[in-house]
Chain A
């Protein structure tokens, strides 16, 4: 490789800037600044608020800074409870979702059976229902099933949103494992279970991990359905935001927002490459 690179002399030279290319660059820069303000602006503005004491209008920065709002939030017992609750729901929902969906993902990827496409599409239908309408319909029946205001009710309502990516992303991961590898292991005398646990599963593990992290985050960030079904017994962090915005000082809500965003930012950064590498996009085409 390096030999080839050396053999090719650097013929590329920067062309002289023309009026047109300068104009293109100027437009590009303006667009980037606009996008920067649109995308990042609200987050930065909120973060500043968490450390502000006095912020008279119209100033770009607070005139007095403080960290007292952080103490307020950490000292509040009920807020601590919602944080704990969020960290209870997310692992439970992820685990339940994995147990239900991963075998199906394997089956969708490895076996062809009548109705396979129909079932895939019907699973997909969970995503095609507008969420809040679906939650309202579910809540109506949850009364009869005694699931309103219960732990399991919230788990079920969050579970619904995780099924699509818990099935589709691992199915794509299983499909990406070359069959020839599995067959080679078979030929060498490995049983089907051994082939699965020594060959298929380890190779598909990254995709499964991505699906699990997305499920965890979905549950952690889900507010609409939890608000409808969990209230008043189960108030998770995102649900608490609804009340916080109305009843607490803006700065306390800003502090709480930052705390709530930390798990998302950390976990999404871990799977960033996979989500952006087109795996998410591929999952949305029916095959």
Chain B
């Protein structure tokens, strides 16, 4: 019964990724033969494998710019999303005011909006004639920078899209901490920051790691947000790899970029698996 989804994943993920690895190493036969027929600027390995495609892509200064942009946008988005999710999650956990309820309702709005719409809305909001510029102008700051079509708009868009997942994960994790535990810490004289540091943070390592890794993987694999809100170059690798694939007709170079993004994601995925394994081991030791 479990075979069908596993087979689908094997056929449509395992197989293409394997073929792509072979293709980037210069193997143009088998499943890659059709794409190799139409490709421009291919590096073909007659015997064994060749790293020429990797050398070309990594030697391209535009691609290196994209890679650097991808790394800093990913790290910045992870940082902001984790902090924001913790702040909102904590506020909602510890306070029961109307403010807390409003905050938690606001933070899940992006779940209801398709990413394409969100990206476009964010672009117009931060554009040259958008709300933020208008607000700054009315407040007397006439030289306020335009964020639309810059990497800042991309960061804002990625944060916007990823906040609901972060808040839901953190709220769920924080709600799992029993009230009695928090009250016990407070009763024995711990301040609120101390309670957060010694009780809530250690008990929520896993949700935090999940938020960080999944946000990171999402940003690495995103196309819509950077394509609609970002500059033409340098932009995230997701945008340039689809340009290489569709517009420049250089699928091999595009797949090399996909491999680079996979490697970056594997780093994040390893942290996730490690944290889960550690938690599972601890749980089995207790019971």
Contact = CB atoms under 8 A, between A and B. Distances in A.
Contact of B2 (A108, A159, A257): A108
Counting chain A CB atoms within 10 Å of each CB, which of B34, B88, B123, B258 scores highest?
B258
A39 B109 contact: yes
A181 to B, nearest CB: 21
Contacts of B231: none
Contacts of B1: 103-104, 106-107
A8 interface: no
Interface string A125-155: 1111111111011111111110000000000
Given A45-B131, A130-B261, A132-B238, A138 B12 contact: yes
B15 interface: yes
B118 interface: yes
B2 A140 contact: no
Nearest to A142: B16
A150 to B, nearest CB: 14
A58 B133 contact: yes
Interface size for chain B: under 10, 10 to 19, 20 to 34, or 35 or more residues? 35 or more
Contacts of B218: 130-131
A125 B168 contact: no
A132 B241 contact: yes
Interface stretch (B40-48, B100-108, B180-188): B100-108
Interface in B234-261: 238, 241-242, 245-246, 251, 254-255, 257-259, 261
Contacts, number: 286
Contact of B114 (A36, A264, A269): A264
A100 B5 contact: yes
B176 to A, nearest CB: 9
Interface stretch (A75-83, A187-195, A199-207, A278-286): A278-286
A104 B4 contact: yes
B5 A257 contact: no
Interface in A1-50: 25, 28-29, 31-32, 35-36, 38-43, 45-46, 49
Interface string B122-133: 111100111101
A140 B128 CA distance: 38
Interface string B249-287: 001001101110110110001001100100110000000
B121 interface: yes
A29 to B, nearest CB: 7
The secondary structure that dominates the A interface is helix
Interface string B31-52: 1111100100000000000000
A32 B99 contact: yes
Given A131-B222, A133-B241, A228-B246, A126 B111 contact: no
A182 interface: no
B160 interface: yes
A285 B280 CA distance: 10
Interface string A248-287: 0010011001001100110011000001101011101111
Contact of A126 (B9, B102, B112): B9
B113 interface: yes
Contacts of B137: 57-58
Interface size for chain A: under 10, 10 to 19, 20 to 34, or 35 or more residues? 35 or more
A60 interface: yes
Interface string B185-227: 0000000000000000000001100100010011011111001
Contacts of A73: none
A242 interface: yes
A257 to B, nearest CB: 4
A36 B88 CA distance: 13
B120 interface: yes
Contacts of A167: 5
24 contacts: A28-B97, A35-B107, A42-B131, A46-B121, A103-B1, A104-B1, A130-B258, A131-B221, A133-B220, A133-B259, A134-B16, A136-B20, A140-B20, A140-B255, A144-B34, A145-B31, A167-B5, A245-B123, A254-B124, A257-B116, A257-B120, A260-B114, A260-B116, A281-B172
Q: Which 5 A-B pairs have the closest CB atoms?
A: A130-B221, A133-B258, A281-B172, A131-B221, A42-B121
Given A107-B2, A265-B112, A284-B169, 12 more contacts: A36-B102, A46-B117, A57-B128, A100-B5, A104-B1, A116-B2, A129-B17, A129-B221, A142-B16, A160-B8, A228-B246, A242-B228
Interface of B: 1-6, 8-9, 12-13, 15-17, 19-20, 23, 31-35, 38, 88, 91, 97, 99, 102-103, 106-118, 120-125, 128-131, 133-134, 137-138, 160, 163, 165, 168-169, 171-173, 175, 206-207, 210, 214, 217-218, 220-224, 227-228, 238, 241-242, 245-246, 251, 254-255, 257-259, 261-262, 264-265, 269, 272-273, 276, 279-280
Interface of A: 25, 28-29, 31-32, 35-36, 38-43, 45-46, 49, 55, 57-60, 99-101, 103-104, 106-108, 113, 116, 119, 121-123, 125-134, 136-145, 156, 159-160, 163, 166-167, 220-221, 223-224, 227-228, 231, 238, 241-242, 245, 250, 253-254, 257, 260-261, 264-265, 268-269, 275-276, 278, 280-282, 284-287
